A = this chain, B = another copy of it.
């Protein structure tokens, strides 16, 4: 028997549907908020993961009043929903100066700068006050000024000084290399290195600006796994609200903390090659992958239960995605539980991207929760 037959919720699902376990998400929020409070650091959660005004409200009871977003549009959306202190954690996009001016008039706006050119442009064109964070690359290699060339901060400080509209706030980094670091020990070591690597740029910056400045860090693996976060001024984790298959496989979280999953109709079963085909493809998950049992895995698989979904099925994973198809490798032992016309629940490799692709949630009690794009 399909357990989903017990649940009106699952009976109503006819296409790939983003399920949200509200209880788990709220527990994840409470965990991180308590951790920040204990360390005495500002909790400025990254809202790019959930992208939902309604879910944003779940942070307020924990005293959260400052948030992080990844785009100007996302800042405008959350500003319209009552958030008044917003950092756009993305190198400032000069082409959106009109929208930035509009935002800066309405909220306390934090911008990321990593070149004197951008700082000078803001000094010339921003006509309302904004905070400036200088983006430092502590080793992730994505973007930012290299931590070991602190002298390159100085022209930025000079450019910021040219206008009273810009307030230098501090150094911001995203140690993205904790993703895939391999172990909790490695994540903690990267975190320690991060703080160490920020010391010399911070000292130089405080000297040059004559002000006390802050440090902002932000990756979910470190914020989850490091016991004492008191060495920084604020943390900006995002993914922790839902976690995902990748964080589970890296032992950042337990399976029982994963708060979103995608219910997918089963459209074919190929027992001879232990493969199930689901309606749920690259346009629903985004084609990001992690590694499971040495293989590329776009997600893990679970069965629907009366409570939501079960533990990940041992040995089962999404092995390929095309536009609408998902191919799920399912060991023979589980195949009897999966029928054409039934549902399989996929834990996406990367929850942030699946949320962006699917654009709305179905909570386990049957409520539709919207995001900024739906």
Interface residues of A (CB under 8 A from B): 13-15, 48, 70-73, 90-96, 99, 114-115, 117-118, 121, 141-143, 176, 265, 267-270, 273, 277, 279, 282-283, 286-288, 320, 322-325, 327, 339-341, 343, 352-353, 356-357
Contacts and interface: CB of A to CB of B under 8 A. Distances in A.
B268 A91 contact: yes
Task: Give the oligomeric copy count.
Answer: 2
B14 A287 contact: no
Contact of A90 (B71, B142, B267, B353): B267
Contact of A121 (B48, B143, B324, B341): B341
A154 to B, nearest CB: 17
A166 B323 CA distance: 27
Contacts of A90: 267, 279, 324-325
A263 to B, nearest CB: 10
Nearest to A267: B91
Contact of A115 (B71, B93, B268): B268
A281 to B, nearest CB: 9
Contact of A323 (B70, B72, B94, B114): B70
A353 B283 contact: yes
Contacts of A71: 15, 279, 324
B268 A95 contact: no
B341 A283 contact: no
Q: List the 5 closest pairs (A to B, CB-CB), nearest first.
A: A91-B267, A94-B341, A14-B95, A287-B287, A143-B277
Contacts of A13: 95
